[in-house]
Amino acid sequence: MTLIEQIITKNKKENLIEKGDKIVVGFSGGPDSVFMTEMLLKLKETICFDLVLVHINHLLRGDDSDGDELFCYEYAKKNNFKIFSQRIDVEGISKEKSITLEEAGREARYELYNKIMKETKSNKIALAHNKDDQIETFMFRLTRGAGLGGLEGIVSKRDRYIRPISEIYKKDILKYLEENNISYRIDKTNFENEFTRNSIRLDLIPFIEQRYNPKFKDKLYNLIEEIRELNNVVDKEVEKFSQKEKLDIDEIVLFPKHIRGRIISNYLYKHNIEVTREKVFSIEKLLNRGGSCNFDLSDEYQLKKEYNVLKIERKKNKSQDIMPKMLVIPGKVQFGDYLIEAEISTREKVNNESFYTTLKIGDTVIIRQRKDGDRIVPTGMQKEKKLKEIFINEKVPKEDRDMIPLVTYNEDIVWIAGIRGNEKYKNVTDDKCVKFRVRRTK
Protein backbone atom coordinates (compact mmCIF):
# COMPACT_ATOMS: atom_id res chain seq x y z
CA MET A 1 0.00 0.00 0.00
CA THR A 2 1.41 3.39 -0.98
CA LEU A 3 1.64 6.25 1.52
CA ILE A 4 -1.29 8.14 -0.01
CA GLU A 5 -3.35 4.94 0.06
CA GLN A 6 -2.56 4.56 3.77
CA ILE A 7 -3.65 8.13 4.39
CA ILE A 8 -6.84 7.75 2.32
CA THR A 9 -7.71 4.56 4.24
CA LYS A 10 -7.06 6.27 7.56
CA ASN A 11 -9.13 9.27 6.50
CA LYS A 12 -12.10 7.11 5.51
CA LYS A 13 -11.90 5.22 8.80
CA GLU A 14 -11.66 8.28 11.05
CA ASN A 15 -13.32 11.03 8.96
CA LEU A 16 -10.41 13.38 9.56
CA ILE A 17 -11.12 15.46 6.45
CA GLU A 18 -14.60 15.79 5.00
CA LYS A 19 -16.28 17.61 2.16
CA GLY A 20 -16.62 21.34 2.85
CA ASP A 21 -13.91 21.50 5.52
CA LYS A 22 -11.70 24.55 5.78
CA ILE A 23 -8.42 23.58 7.38
CA VAL A 24 -5.63 25.56 9.03
CA VAL A 25 -2.34 23.76 8.34
CA GLY A 26 0.55 24.15 10.77
CA PHE A 27 3.39 24.68 8.32
CA SER A 28 6.98 24.91 9.55
CA GLY A 29 8.58 24.14 6.20
CA GLY A 30 10.16 20.98 7.66
CA PRO A 31 9.78 17.53 6.05
CA ASP A 32 6.71 16.53 8.09
CA SER A 33 4.62 19.63 7.36
CA VAL A 34 5.68 19.64 3.68
CA PHE A 35 4.81 15.95 3.32
CA MET A 36 1.44 16.43 5.05
CA THR A 37 0.59 19.35 2.78
CA GLU A 38 1.57 17.33 -0.31
CA MET A 39 -0.75 14.54 0.86
CA LEU A 40 -3.55 17.04 1.45
CA LEU A 41 -3.09 18.27 -2.11
CA LYS A 42 -3.62 14.70 -3.33
CA LEU A 43 -6.68 14.31 -1.10
CA LYS A 44 -8.14 17.48 -2.65
CA GLU A 45 -8.35 15.55 -5.93
CA THR A 46 -11.18 13.45 -4.47
CA ILE A 47 -12.51 15.57 -1.57
CA CYS A 48 -13.59 19.20 -1.91
CA PHE A 49 -12.06 21.20 0.95
CA ASP A 50 -9.94 24.33 1.45
CA LEU A 51 -6.79 24.97 3.42
CA VAL A 52 -4.58 27.83 4.55
CA LEU A 53 -1.00 27.63 5.79
CA VAL A 54 0.18 29.11 9.07
CA HIS A 55 3.88 29.62 9.81
CA ILE A 56 5.62 30.91 12.93
CA ASN A 57 9.13 32.34 12.95
CA HIS A 58 10.26 31.53 16.51
CA LEU A 59 13.28 33.89 16.17
CA LEU A 60 15.52 31.24 17.73
CA ARG A 61 17.91 30.36 14.89
CA GLY A 62 18.79 33.70 13.27
CA ASP A 63 19.22 33.43 9.51
CA ASP A 64 17.94 29.83 9.50
CA SER A 65 14.61 30.94 10.98
CA ASP A 66 14.33 33.71 8.40
CA GLY A 67 15.20 31.19 5.69
CA ASP A 68 12.37 28.92 6.88
CA GLU A 69 9.95 31.82 6.69
CA LEU A 70 11.01 32.72 3.15
CA PHE A 71 10.74 29.07 2.07
CA CYS A 72 7.17 28.86 3.42
CA TYR A 73 6.11 31.98 1.52
CA GLU A 74 7.61 30.62 -1.72
CA TYR A 75 5.99 27.19 -1.22
CA ALA A 76 2.59 28.82 -0.64
CA LYS A 77 2.96 31.02 -3.74
CA LYS A 78 3.99 28.05 -5.87
CA ASN A 79 0.96 26.02 -4.81
CA ASN A 80 -1.53 28.91 -4.72
CA PHE A 81 -2.08 28.70 -0.97
CA LYS A 82 -2.96 31.56 1.29
CA ILE A 83 -0.38 31.79 4.08
CA PHE A 84 -0.29 33.57 7.42
CA SER A 85 3.08 34.09 9.04
CA GLN A 86 4.04 35.73 12.30
CA ARG A 87 7.28 36.41 14.13
CA ILE A 88 7.06 35.58 17.84
CA ASP A 89 9.69 36.06 20.55
CA VAL A 90 9.47 32.53 21.96
CA GLU A 91 12.57 33.02 24.12
CA GLY A 92 10.95 36.08 25.71
CA ILE A 93 7.77 34.10 26.42
CA SER A 94 9.87 31.33 27.95
CA LYS A 95 11.58 33.73 30.36
CA GLU A 96 8.44 35.68 31.18
CA LYS A 97 6.41 32.56 32.05
CA SER A 98 9.31 30.48 33.42
CA ILE A 99 8.63 27.63 31.00
CA THR A 100 10.89 25.74 28.59
CA LEU A 101 11.49 26.90 25.03
CA GLU A 102 9.58 23.84 23.82
CA GLU A 103 6.57 24.71 25.95
CA ALA A 104 6.70 28.37 24.94
CA GLY A 105 6.92 27.46 21.26
CA ARG A 106 4.02 25.05 21.49
CA GLU A 107 1.90 27.60 23.35
CA ALA A 108 2.63 30.29 20.74
CA ARG A 109 1.84 27.96 17.84
CA TYR A 110 -1.50 26.76 19.17
CA GLU A 111 -2.55 30.28 20.08
CA LEU A 112 -1.85 31.49 16.54
CA TYR A 113 -3.49 28.44 14.93
CA ASN A 114 -6.70 29.10 16.84
CA LYS A 115 -6.59 32.81 16.06
CA ILE A 116 -6.23 32.18 12.31
CA MET A 117 -8.93 29.50 12.45
CA LYS A 118 -11.40 32.11 13.74
CA GLU A 119 -10.26 34.78 11.26
CA THR A 120 -10.59 32.45 8.26
CA LYS A 121 -13.74 30.75 9.59
CA SER A 122 -11.98 27.40 9.37
CA ASN A 123 -13.21 24.37 11.30
CA LYS A 124 -10.11 22.18 11.70
CA ILE A 125 -6.40 22.48 12.43
CA ALA A 126 -4.04 19.96 10.78
CA LEU A 127 -0.82 19.09 12.60
CA ALA A 128 2.05 17.10 11.09
CA HIS A 129 2.78 14.61 13.89
CA ASN A 130 4.11 11.35 12.50
CA LYS A 131 4.45 7.80 13.85
CA ASP A 132 7.89 8.49 15.33
CA ASP A 133 6.41 11.47 17.20
CA GLN A 134 3.86 9.14 18.76
CA ILE A 135 6.55 6.75 19.95
CA GLU A 136 8.75 9.56 21.27
CA THR A 137 5.77 11.05 23.08
CA PHE A 138 5.02 7.67 24.67
CA MET A 139 8.63 7.34 25.86
CA PHE A 140 8.70 10.95 27.09
CA ARG A 141 5.48 10.56 29.07
CA LEU A 142 6.56 7.18 30.39
CA THR A 143 9.70 8.72 31.88
CA ARG A 144 7.52 11.40 33.49
CA GLY A 145 5.27 8.82 35.13
CA ALA A 146 2.11 9.22 33.02
CA GLY A 147 -0.87 6.91 33.50
CA LEU A 148 -2.71 4.96 30.81
CA GLY A 149 -4.55 8.07 29.70
CA GLY A 150 -1.27 9.75 28.76
CA LEU A 151 0.36 6.68 27.20
CA GLU A 152 -1.89 6.32 24.19
CA GLY A 153 0.37 8.50 22.07
CA ILE A 154 -0.98 11.35 19.98
CA VAL A 155 -4.53 10.66 18.83
CA SER A 156 -5.40 11.36 15.20
CA LYS A 157 -8.46 13.44 15.98
CA ARG A 158 -9.41 15.41 19.06
CA ASP A 159 -11.82 18.31 18.99
CA ARG A 160 -10.71 20.61 16.15
CA TYR A 161 -7.22 19.07 15.78
CA ILE A 162 -6.46 16.41 13.16
CA ARG A 163 -3.23 14.56 12.41
CA PRO A 164 -3.49 12.99 8.94
CA ILE A 165 0.05 11.48 8.86
CA SER A 166 0.22 10.15 12.43
CA GLU A 167 0.70 6.56 11.21
CA ILE A 168 3.56 7.27 8.78
CA TYR A 169 7.17 6.73 9.90
CA LYS A 170 9.67 9.55 9.46
CA LYS A 171 11.96 7.41 7.31
CA ASP A 172 9.11 6.84 4.83
CA ILE A 173 8.33 10.58 4.79
CA LEU A 174 11.93 11.44 3.97
CA LYS A 175 12.11 8.72 1.33
CA TYR A 176 8.97 10.02 -0.40
CA LEU A 177 10.21 13.61 -0.45
CA GLU A 178 13.59 12.52 -1.83
CA GLU A 179 12.13 10.26 -4.53
CA ASN A 180 9.73 13.00 -5.64
CA ASN A 181 12.35 15.75 -5.53
CA ILE A 182 10.35 17.85 -3.05
CA SER A 183 12.29 20.48 -1.11
CA TYR A 184 11.98 21.12 2.62
CA ARG A 185 13.86 22.85 5.41
CA ILE A 186 15.98 21.22 8.12
CA ASP A 187 15.88 22.42 11.72
CA LYS A 188 19.39 21.69 12.99
CA THR A 189 18.27 21.88 16.62
CA ASN A 190 16.46 18.57 16.06
CA PHE A 191 19.90 16.96 16.06
CA GLU A 192 21.02 18.50 19.34
CA ASN A 193 20.59 16.62 22.62
CA GLU A 194 19.70 19.70 24.64
CA PHE A 195 16.00 18.79 24.67
CA THR A 196 14.62 15.65 26.32
CA ARG A 197 12.65 14.59 23.24
CA ASN A 198 15.72 14.95 21.04
CA SER A 199 17.67 12.71 23.40
CA ILE A 200 14.93 10.08 23.27
CA ARG A 201 14.94 10.25 19.45
CA LEU A 202 18.72 10.35 18.96
CA ASP A 203 20.00 8.21 21.84
CA LEU A 204 17.45 6.08 23.68
CA ILE A 205 15.41 4.59 20.83
CA PRO A 206 18.45 3.82 18.58
CA PHE A 207 20.18 2.21 21.59
CA ILE A 208 17.21 -0.10 22.24
CA GLU A 209 16.92 -0.96 18.54
CA GLN A 210 20.62 -1.83 18.28
CA ARG A 211 20.97 -3.59 21.62
CA TYR A 212 17.63 -5.35 22.12
CA ASN A 213 15.16 -5.30 19.23
CA PRO A 214 15.55 -3.75 15.75
CA LYS A 215 11.74 -3.68 15.47
CA PHE A 216 11.32 -1.90 18.79
CA LYS A 217 9.29 0.97 17.30
CA ASP A 218 6.84 -1.42 15.64
CA LYS A 219 6.35 -3.34 18.88
CA LEU A 220 5.97 -0.15 20.88
CA TYR A 221 3.41 1.25 18.45
CA ASN A 222 1.39 -1.97 18.75
CA LEU A 223 1.38 -1.42 22.51
CA ILE A 224 0.23 2.18 22.02
CA GLU A 225 -2.69 0.94 19.91
CA GLU A 226 -3.64 -1.62 22.57
CA ILE A 227 -3.57 1.08 25.24
CA ARG A 228 -5.68 3.33 23.00
CA GLU A 229 -8.29 0.58 22.53
CA LEU A 230 -8.37 -0.06 26.27
CA ASN A 231 -8.75 3.66 26.93
CA ASN A 232 -11.67 3.80 24.50
CA VAL A 233 -13.49 1.14 26.51
CA VAL A 234 -12.71 2.93 29.77
CA ASP A 235 -13.73 6.30 28.31
CA LYS A 236 -17.19 4.97 27.49
CA GLU A 237 -17.67 3.98 31.14
CA VAL A 238 -16.22 7.25 32.39
CA GLU A 239 -18.44 9.31 30.08
CA LYS A 240 -21.54 7.90 31.75
CA PHE A 241 -20.53 9.59 34.99
CA SER A 242 -19.30 12.89 33.55
CA GLN A 243 -22.82 13.85 32.45
CA LYS A 244 -24.22 13.53 35.96
CA GLU A 245 -24.72 16.41 38.34
CA LYS A 246 -23.85 14.16 41.27
CA LEU A 247 -21.62 11.11 41.62
CA ASP A 248 -22.85 8.09 43.55
CA ILE A 249 -19.91 6.88 45.65
CA ASP A 250 -21.36 3.39 45.91
CA GLU A 251 -21.10 3.12 42.11
CA ILE A 252 -17.62 4.62 41.82
CA VAL A 253 -15.96 2.35 44.39
CA LEU A 254 -16.93 -0.72 42.35
CA PHE A 255 -14.31 0.27 39.75
CA PRO A 256 -10.53 -0.32 40.00
CA LYS A 257 -8.44 2.56 41.35
CA HIS A 258 -7.25 3.72 37.92
CA ILE A 259 -10.78 4.00 36.52
CA ARG A 260 -12.00 5.72 39.70
CA GLY A 261 -9.35 8.36 39.10
CA ARG A 262 -10.46 8.78 35.48
CA ILE A 263 -14.09 9.15 36.56
CA ILE A 264 -13.18 11.86 39.05
CA SER A 265 -10.85 13.64 36.60
CA ASN A 266 -13.43 13.66 33.83
CA TYR A 267 -16.15 14.83 36.20
CA LEU A 268 -13.96 17.79 37.16
CA TYR A 269 -13.06 18.53 33.52
CA LYS A 270 -16.73 18.60 32.52
CA HIS A 271 -17.33 21.23 35.19
CA ASN A 272 -14.34 23.34 34.01
CA ILE A 273 -12.27 22.57 37.11
CA GLU A 274 -8.47 22.36 36.81
CA VAL A 275 -7.35 18.78 37.38
CA THR A 276 -4.16 17.80 39.19
CA ARG A 277 -2.91 14.43 40.35
CA GLU A 278 -2.87 15.65 43.98
CA LYS A 279 -6.46 16.89 43.72
CA VAL A 280 -7.74 13.58 42.34
CA PHE A 281 -5.78 11.60 44.96
CA SER A 282 -7.26 13.70 47.76
CA ILE A 283 -10.79 13.19 46.44
CA GLU A 284 -10.23 9.44 46.16
CA LYS A 285 -9.33 9.36 49.85
CA LEU A 286 -12.74 10.88 50.65
CA LEU A 287 -14.59 7.96 49.05
CA ASN A 288 -14.05 5.63 52.01
CA ARG A 289 -14.65 8.23 54.70
CA GLY A 290 -17.94 8.31 56.55
CA GLY A 291 -20.08 11.37 57.11
CA SER A 292 -19.97 14.63 55.18
CA CYS A 293 -17.18 17.03 54.33
CA ASN A 294 -16.05 19.67 51.83
CA PHE A 295 -13.01 19.83 49.57
CA ASP A 296 -11.86 23.08 47.95
CA LEU A 297 -11.44 22.71 44.18
CA SER A 298 -10.70 26.36 43.43
CA ASP A 299 -11.41 29.83 44.74
CA GLU A 300 -14.88 29.56 43.24
CA TYR A 301 -15.89 25.90 43.59
CA GLN A 302 -15.91 23.15 46.18
CA LEU A 303 -16.62 19.44 46.14
CA LYS A 304 -19.23 18.45 48.69
CA LYS A 305 -19.34 14.91 50.06
CA GLU A 306 -22.70 14.23 51.60
CA TYR A 307 -22.46 10.67 52.86
CA ASN A 308 -22.57 8.58 49.66
CA VAL A 309 -22.82 11.45 47.16
CA LEU A 310 -20.23 13.79 45.60
CA LYS A 311 -21.26 17.03 43.95
CA ILE A 312 -19.58 20.24 42.76
CA GLU A 313 -21.03 23.48 44.06
CA ARG A 314 -20.17 27.13 43.75
CA LYS A 315 -18.90 28.44 47.07
CA LYS A 316 -21.40 30.52 48.96
CA ASN A 317 -20.71 33.49 51.17
CA LYS A 318 -22.41 32.42 54.34
CA SER A 319 -24.84 35.01 55.61
CA GLN A 320 -23.73 36.83 58.72
CA ASP A 321 -27.36 37.52 59.69
CA ILE A 322 -27.69 34.56 62.08
CA MET A 323 -27.99 36.42 65.36
CA PRO A 324 -30.95 35.19 67.47
CA LYS A 325 -34.23 36.65 66.18
CA MET A 326 -37.50 37.18 68.06
CA LEU A 327 -40.80 36.31 66.40
CA VAL A 328 -44.25 37.03 67.82
CA ILE A 329 -46.92 34.66 66.49
CA PRO A 330 -48.20 35.27 63.84
CA GLY A 331 -45.28 36.75 61.92
CA LYS A 332 -42.17 36.03 59.93
CA VAL A 333 -38.46 36.66 60.26
CA GLN A 334 -35.33 36.22 58.13
CA PHE A 335 -32.59 34.03 59.58
CA GLY A 336 -29.51 33.70 57.40
CA ASP A 337 -30.61 32.19 54.11
CA TYR A 338 -34.00 31.10 55.51
CA LEU A 339 -37.38 32.76 56.04
CA ILE A 340 -39.33 31.45 59.06
CA GLU A 341 -43.08 32.11 59.07
CA ALA A 342 -45.67 31.47 61.81
CA GLU A 343 -49.31 31.52 60.81
CA ILE A 344 -52.69 30.17 61.84
CA SER A 345 -53.67 27.26 59.63
CA THR A 346 -55.79 24.14 59.51
CA ARG A 347 -53.81 20.95 59.52
CA GLU A 348 -52.81 19.81 56.03
CA LYS A 349 -50.45 17.20 54.66
CA VAL A 350 -47.34 17.03 56.85
CA ASN A 351 -43.92 17.62 55.26
CA ASN A 352 -40.44 18.74 56.29
CA GLU A 353 -41.09 22.36 55.30
CA SER A 354 -43.76 22.87 57.96
CA PHE A 355 -44.60 21.92 61.55
CA TYR A 356 -47.99 22.20 63.29
CA THR A 357 -47.62 23.19 66.94
CA THR A 358 -49.59 23.69 70.15
CA LEU A 359 -48.32 27.26 70.51
CA LYS A 360 -50.80 30.13 70.58
CA ILE A 361 -51.26 33.54 69.00
CA GLY A 362 -49.16 36.05 70.89
CA ASP A 363 -46.53 33.54 71.99
CA THR A 364 -42.96 34.69 71.42
CA VAL A 365 -40.36 32.35 69.98
CA ILE A 366 -36.64 32.86 69.46
CA ILE A 367 -34.98 31.73 66.23
CA ARG A 368 -31.33 30.84 66.78
CA GLN A 369 -28.51 28.59 65.61
CA ARG A 370 -27.43 25.44 67.45
CA LYS A 371 -25.29 25.46 70.58
CA ASP A 372 -23.56 22.84 72.69
CA GLY A 373 -25.89 20.64 74.69
CA ASP A 374 -28.96 21.14 72.50
CA ARG A 375 -31.47 18.29 72.83
CA ILE A 376 -34.95 17.55 71.59
CA VAL A 377 -37.58 14.79 71.81
CA PRO A 378 -38.05 14.10 68.09
CA THR A 379 -41.59 13.61 66.83
CA GLY A 380 -42.66 10.02 67.15
CA MET A 381 -40.22 9.34 70.01
CA GLN A 382 -40.34 9.46 73.80
CA LYS A 383 -36.72 10.11 74.73
CA GLU A 384 -34.49 13.07 74.13
CA LYS A 385 -31.77 12.95 71.50
CA LYS A 386 -28.79 15.18 70.97
CA LEU A 387 -29.17 17.62 68.10
CA LYS A 388 -25.86 16.33 66.69
CA GLU A 389 -27.27 12.79 66.45
CA ILE A 390 -30.31 14.03 64.56
CA PHE A 391 -28.13 15.94 62.09
CA ILE A 392 -26.06 12.82 61.50
CA ASN A 393 -29.12 10.59 61.08
CA GLU A 394 -30.70 13.09 58.70
CA LYS A 395 -27.41 13.37 56.78
CA VAL A 396 -27.11 17.13 57.19
CA PRO A 397 -23.62 18.24 55.97
CA LYS A 398 -21.37 19.52 58.76
CA GLU A 399 -20.83 22.89 57.12
CA ASP A 400 -24.62 23.51 56.97
CA ARG A 401 -25.46 22.65 60.56
CA ASP A 402 -24.67 26.05 62.09
CA MET A 403 -26.97 27.70 59.55
CA ILE A 404 -30.08 25.60 60.28
CA PRO A 405 -32.69 27.74 62.12
CA LEU A 406 -33.94 26.41 65.47
CA VAL A 407 -37.36 27.64 66.59
CA THR A 408 -37.27 27.78 70.41
CA TYR A 409 -39.86 28.56 73.10
CA ASN A 410 -38.88 29.01 76.75
CA GLU A 411 -35.46 27.48 75.87
CA ASP A 412 -37.09 24.36 74.38
CA ILE A 413 -36.39 23.57 70.73
CA VAL A 414 -39.83 23.47 69.12
CA TRP A 415 -38.66 22.76 65.60
CA ILE A 416 -35.39 22.06 63.79
CA ALA A 417 -36.54 23.98 60.74
CA GLY A 418 -37.04 21.75 57.72
CA ILE A 419 -35.80 18.65 59.58
CA ARG A 420 -37.63 17.53 62.74
CA GLY A 421 -40.18 18.82 65.25
CA ASN A 422 -40.45 18.33 69.01
CA GLU A 423 -42.95 15.67 70.11
CA LYS A 424 -43.82 17.85 73.10
CA TYR A 425 -45.11 20.67 70.85
CA LYS A 426 -46.69 18.60 68.07
CA ASN A 427 -50.33 19.37 67.27
CA VAL A 428 -52.37 16.41 66.03
CA THR A 429 -55.84 17.97 65.95
CA ASP A 430 -57.67 19.04 62.83
CA ASP A 431 -58.52 22.45 64.26
CA LYS A 432 -56.76 25.65 63.34
CA CYS A 433 -53.36 25.90 64.99
CA VAL A 434 -49.99 27.64 64.77
CA LYS A 435 -48.08 26.39 61.77
CA PHE A 436 -44.38 27.11 61.28
CA ARG A 437 -43.05 27.11 57.75
CA VAL A 438 -39.53 27.50 56.35
CA ARG A 439 -38.16 28.30 52.90
CA ARG A 440 -34.76 29.22 51.52
CA THR A 441 -34.41 32.70 50.10
CA LYS A 442 -30.86 32.38 48.70
Q: What share of the chain is helix, strand, coil (3-state, %, to 5)?
A: 40, 20, 35
Please give the torsion angle defined by the CA atoms of residues 285, 389, 351 and 405, in that order, rounded to the nearest 10 degrees.
-90
Give the burial string for 211-236 (b: 16+ CB within 10 Å, else e).
eeeeebbeebbeebeebbeebeebee
Pick the closest to residue 264 from 311, 296, 314 (CA basis): 311
Binding-site annotation: residue ranges? 28-33
Binding-site annotation: residue ranges for ATP? 28-33
Residues with Cβ within 8 Å of 126's Cβ and at least 6 positions away in sequence, in order, are 23, 24, 25, 26, 36, 40, 51, 162, 163, 164
- For 179-243, the DSSP string reads HTT------GGGG-TTSHHHHIIIIIHHHHHHHT-TTHHHHHHHHHHHHHHHHHHHHHHHHHHHT
- Kindly calculate the radius of gyration of the chain based on its CA atoms and give it in whole angstroms: 33
Region for residue 316 given its phi and psi (left: phi exceeds 0; alpha: psi -120 to 50; beta: otherwise): beta
Q: What are phi and psi of 263, to 5 degrees?
A: -60, -45
425 to 22, 328, 335, 373, 435: CA distances (angstroms): 73, 17, 21, 20, 11
